[in-house]
């Protein structure tokens, strides 16, 4: 993490989010497989495809900043994924486990929304218009993934999960 200037801080956080997205690309297939609901599993897999697009956009931004993609490790995403794995591997009721998977996945989306929301503001502040556009596209997809998970929880999983007790 480099806090010498706003540009350094911005570049460090882009590298952090790049690492977070790379971790997600590894983790999401396992979590999708653990989901019992087909709509949940499909939502996770379609966000996996979007996540690949996030990595590509971040690579473009890093290239323009003359920064290597591998500079930072996102400890937060490591922890959030560990929580997701824990619930995905839990014994018990399928709908309840799915409710737990949604909980873990929404924590991930909210972390990303916070990161990209701030990065959008920083890009604007730094006059980096193309970055601002790319980060805005990522942010919109993260928000959309989050509300999609809410929809699945409310329309399907939560009622079934509550009925199991």
The mark string for 131-160 relative to Fe ion (x by CB under 5 A, - otherwise) is -----------x------------------
Rounded to whole angstroms, what are the CA distances from 156 to 16, 37, 48, 149?
A: 34, 9, 21, 10
The mark string for 48-87 relative to Zn ion (x by CB under 5 A, - otherwise) is ---x--x---------------------------------
Comparison of 113 and 126: residue with beta carbon closer to Fe ion: 113
Q: How far is the CB of 78 from Fe ion (least distance, A)?
A: 9
Comparison of 10 and 95: residue with beta carbon closer to Zn ion: 10
Burial class (CB in 10 A: 0-12, 13-18, 19+), 26: exposed
Closest to 61 in 3D by CA, of 24, 22, 15, 20: 15
Does 112 bind Fe ion (CB under 5 A)? Our answer is yes
The mark string for 86-115 relative to Zn ion (x by CB under 5 A, - otherwise) is --------------------------x---
Beta-carbon neighbour count of residue 67 at 10 Å?
17
Please choose which of Fe ion, Zn ion, none residue 76 contacts, taking the beta carbon within 5 to 8 angstroms, the exact cut-off set by kind: Fe ion
Task: Give the tokens for residue 19.
Answer: 């690492």
Residues 6 or more apart whose Cβ sits within 8 Å of residue 128 = none
Size of the site for Zn ion (CB under 5 A): 3
Comparison of 20 and 157: residue with beta carbon closer to Zn ion: 20
Distance CA 118, CA 121 (A): 5
Which residues inside 12-31 make contact with Fe ion, applying CB under 5 A? Answer: 16
Reduced to 3 states (helix: H, G, I; strand: E, B; else coil), residue 106 is helix
Which positions lie near Fe ion, rule CB under 5 A? 16, 74, 76, 112, 142
């Amino acid at each position: 993490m480099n806090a010498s200037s706003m540009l350094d801080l911005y570049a460090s956080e882009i590298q952090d989010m790049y690492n977070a997205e790379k971790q997600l690309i590894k983790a999401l297939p396992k979590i999708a497989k653990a989901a019992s609901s087909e709509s949940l599993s499909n939502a996770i897999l379609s966000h996996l495809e979007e996540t690949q697009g996030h990595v590509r956009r971040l690579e473009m931004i890093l290239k323009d900043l003359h920064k290597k993609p591998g500079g930072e490790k996102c400890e937060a995403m490591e922890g959030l994924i560990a929580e997701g794995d824990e619930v995905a591997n839990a014994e018990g009721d399928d709908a309840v486990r799915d409710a737990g998977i949604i909980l873990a996945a929404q924590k991930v989306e909210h972390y990303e929304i916070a990161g990209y929301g701030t990065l959008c503001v920083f890009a604007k502040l730094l006059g980096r218009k193309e970055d601002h556009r790319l980060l805005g596209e990522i942010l919109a997809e993260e928000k959309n993934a989050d509300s999609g998970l809410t929809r699945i929880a409310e329309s399907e999983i939560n009622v079934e999960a509550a009925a199991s007790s």
